């Protein structure tokens, strides 16, 4: 995996873990190398191993890429450039490639997640311990194929024009194909009410990503996972019915999310739709749209 090397050289993450540590931990619970690798790609598999009942129904397991598709997805992220940082809506770049925005509370790990997705381009994203480091919309071009957009967080130290800039961008951007809405894996905040209300009011299609999963025990994480699912997915709305979980520190879950982004921006050759997804897409096309 390419992502680990640059994460372990990152100055910003406070604790250094690595894929090797992750695999060692899995070996300690008697996982084979293949199972451990699978859980690294999609950590939900690890969570499932702690309980006998399925934590996902078929309708919540729509995105299940093959090993080849994951390789293809990771490969899409090789060439990344910061093209523009924008503080007002009249300065936005053109709309001719699909965009995926990353939103969430201040300090939830948006910039770190982008850096982990862009691990083949070290130090391209600024991250910080203090909440409110990101003050502009930052547009990152991925190989000329699509863009990821780092969005200022809500909660602490928001830019003065936050509502105009962020809500204006999210609700009016024609090439915005999906929004990744980040939420901490911590059980201390089972519902991010502000974020949920904001995104529901805007009515845009989004995907929930639980962050910083390396900080929590599998049992706590499982509790957050189930509560989050109940809050965001089982209550309907514009949320993609599958939760993603990541650690930008270990890289766990990053290849899976890279593959999903490659898929929704129309950059995966491998066909990806399950029968369930096709059925659900008939009712809510925007949640399942592929650019």
Ligand X SMILES: Nc1nc2c(ncn2[C@@H]2O[C@H](COP(=O)(O)OP(=O)(O)OP(=O)(O)O)[C@@H](O)[C@H]2O)c(=O)[nH]1
SS3 string, 102-114, reads: EECECCCCHHHHH
Residue closer to ligand X (CB basis): 13 or 272: 13
The structure tokens listed for 75 are 């490969």
DSSP track, 245-256: E--TTT-TTHHH
CB of 4 vs ligand X, minimal distance in Å: 13
Between 26 and 125, name the residue whose CB sits nearer to ligand X: 125
Answer whether 45's CB lies under 8 Å from 37's CB: no
Residue 11 C-beta: closest distance to ligand X, Å: 9
Provide, rounded to whole angstroms, the least separation between the CB of residue 189 and ligand X: 14
Secondary structure (3-state) at 159: coil
Angle at the Cα of 41 from the Cα atoms of 2 and 137, rounded to 5 degrees: 70
Look at the block and give the residue holding tokens 């999903």. 260
The answer to whether 170 and 206 are in contact (CB under 8 A) is no
Give whichever of 151 and 272 is closer to ligand X, judged by the CB atom.
Answer: 151
- Minimum separation from the CB atom of position 61 to ligand X (A): 23
Question: In this complex, which beta carbon is closest to ligand X, that of residue 6 or of residue 133?
Answer: 133
End-to-end distance of the chain based on CA atoms, in angstroms?
27
The residue at minimum Cβ distance from ligand X is: 153
**Residue closer to ligand X (CB basis): 98 or 109:** 109
The nearest distance, CB 23 to ligand X, in angstroms, is 17
CB of 281 to ligand X, least distance (A): 30
Opening angle at CA 202, ends 228 and 56, nearest 5: 25
Name the residues that contact ligand X, by CB under 6 A. 12-15, 104, 106-112, 127-129, 131-134, 153, 211-212, 214-215, 247-249
Q: At 238, list the tokens.
A: 């514009």
Q: Which two tokens stand for residue 216?
A: 């929590």
Measured from the CB atom, the residue of 117 and 287 that comes closer to ligand X is 117
């Amino acid at each position: 995996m390419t992502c680990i090397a640059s994460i372990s050289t990152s100055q910003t993450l406070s604790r250094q873990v690595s894929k090797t540590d992750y695999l060692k931990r899995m070996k300690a619970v008697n996982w084979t190398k293949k199972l451990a690798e699978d859980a690294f790609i999609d950590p939900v598999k690890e969570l499932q191993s702690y309980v006998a009942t399925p934590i996902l129904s078929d309708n919540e397991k729509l995105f299940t890429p093959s090993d080849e598709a994951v390789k293809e997805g990771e490969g899409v992220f090789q060439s990344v450039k910061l093209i523009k940082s924008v503080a007002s809506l009249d300065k936005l770049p053109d709309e001719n490639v699909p965009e995926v925005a990353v939103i969430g509370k201040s300090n939830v790990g948006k910039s770190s997640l982008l850096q982990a997705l862009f691990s083949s381009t070290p130090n391209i994203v600024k991250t910080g311990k203090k909440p409110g480091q990101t003050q502009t919309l930052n547009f990152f071009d991925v190989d000329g194929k699509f863009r990821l957009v780092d969005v200022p967080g809500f909660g602490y130290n928001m830019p003065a024009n936050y509502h105009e800039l962020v809500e204006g961008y999210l609700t009016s951007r024609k090439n915005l194909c999906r929004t990744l809405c980040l939420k901490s894996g911590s059980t201390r905040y089972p519902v991010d009410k502000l974020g949920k209300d904001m995104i529901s009011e805007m009515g845009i299609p989004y995907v929930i990503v639980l962050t910083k999963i390396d900080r929590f025990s599998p049992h706590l994480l499982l509790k957050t996972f189930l509560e989050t699912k109940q809050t965001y997915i089982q209550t309907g709305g514009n949320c993609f019915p599958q939760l993603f979980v990541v650690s930008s520190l270990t890289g766990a879950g990053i290849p899976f999310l890279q593959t999903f982004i490659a898929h929704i921006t129309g950059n995966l050759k491998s066909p990806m739709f399950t029968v369930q997804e096709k059925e659900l897409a008939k009712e809510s096309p925007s949640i399942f749209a592929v650019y």
